[in-house]
């Protein structure tokens, strides 16, 4: 059930049953010249909408903004920072718990959100609940190595093709053109650099290492909608199992 479509009378009934509440969380940020700014919330929202029919599951409205200060040089990107998202998620969890919810599953679309989600998870934990973070791009890459990707590369572009192909413009795609920091320090991910076989983290604007915004092992121009659909199906299967496990948990 979608919380936004329920009346308070229906909500009262639903919250009495110790439901699992899904909160899709993302970010409004650049994903290369070819892929939508909303990718990180549109993908989790798409998954949540496929799960709303499951018994005793409530889907809360999507959190569209997240933590992406390092993408700010790309037009359209908006960050509410760790403080903003921690406050927002904390208040959402607090509000839902005041009505009786104790089990939360955050479907997350953006790695930068993790510290803020952790803070909301600890808030839920201290109040006797549990909050689980599901990072779709991490899980899908672990379930199938073909789907291990980067940021705004083929993998995220394929996911977006499956969700809404009108939000992908492969004709606008550009080469990655990664920029080394020094001759011996090269980017391996957004904010992650390799020196002598091991990685160090350097937080700086994405354009300094990935001038066109995307970074990853796979060129977005090779993105195929069918593979995106396969990824979404893999994630949905996994989440359905996880939901049933979380329902069993004694709190």
Is-contact 151 191, C-beta < 8 A? no
Closer CB to Zn ion, 40 or 227, in the complex: 40
State the number of binding residues for Zn ion (CB under 5 A). 2
CA atoms within 13 A on the CB side of 147: 24
Question: 15, 30, 40, 65: which one contacts Zn ion (CB under 5 A)?
Answer: 40
Nearest distance in Å: CB 28, Zn ion: 11
Closest to Zn ion by CB, 133 vs 243, is 133
Q: In the structure encoding, which two tokens stand for residue 244, read together?
A: 């049933």
Determine the Cα–Cα distance for residues 154 and 26; give it in Å rounded to an integer: 19
3-state SS assignment for residue 232: helix
11 or 139: CB nearest Zn ion: 139
Pick from 228, 227, 153: nearest CA to 187: 153
Q: Nearer to Zn ion by C-beta: 86 or 157?
A: 157
What b/e sequence results for 178-190 when a residue is b if at least 16 CB atoms lie within 10 Å of its CB, and e otherwise? Answer: eeebeeeeebbbb
Piece of the chain touching Zn ion by CB under 5 A; list 5-13, 32-40, 138-146, 192-200: 32-40
Q: How far is the CB of 199 from Zn ion (least distance, A)?
A: 20
135 binds Zn ion (CB under 5 A): no
Stretch that binds Zn ion, among 37-45, 64-72, 209-217, 224-232 (CB under 5 A): 37-45
Interacting residues toward Zn ion by CB under 5 A: 39-40
């Amino acid at each position: 059930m979608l919380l936004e479509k329920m009346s308070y009378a229906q909500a009262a009934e639903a919250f009495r049953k110790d439901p699992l509440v899904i909160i899709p969380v993302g970010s409004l940020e650049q994903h290369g010249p070819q892929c939508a700014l909303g990718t990180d919330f549109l993908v989790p929202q798409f998954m949540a909408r496929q799960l709303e029919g499951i018994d005793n599951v409530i889907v809360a409205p999507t959190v569209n903004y997240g933590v992406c200060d390092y993408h700010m040089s790309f037009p359209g990107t908006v960050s509410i920072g760790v403080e903003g998202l921690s406050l927002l998620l904390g208040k959402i969890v607090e509000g839902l718990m005041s009505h009786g919810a104790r089990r939360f599953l955050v479907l997350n679309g953006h790695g930068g959100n993790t510290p803020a989600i952790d803070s909301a998870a600890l808030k839920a934990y201290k109040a006797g609940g549990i909050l689980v973070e599901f990072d779709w791009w991490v899980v899908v890459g672990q379930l199938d190595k073909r789907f291990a990707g980067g940021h705004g590369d083929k993998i995220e572009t394929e996911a977006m093709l499956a969700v809404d192909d009108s939000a992908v413009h492969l004709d606008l795609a550009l080469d990655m053109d990664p920029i080394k920091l020094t001759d011996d320090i090269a980017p391996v991910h957004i904010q992650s650099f390799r020196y002598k076989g091991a990685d160090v983290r350097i937080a700086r604007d994405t354009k300094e290492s990935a001038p066109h915004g995307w970074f990853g092992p796979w060129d977005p121009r090779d993105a195929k909608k069918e593979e995106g659909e396969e990824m979404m199906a893999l994630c949905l299967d996994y989440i359905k199992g996880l939901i049933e496990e979380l329902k069993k948990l004694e709190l």
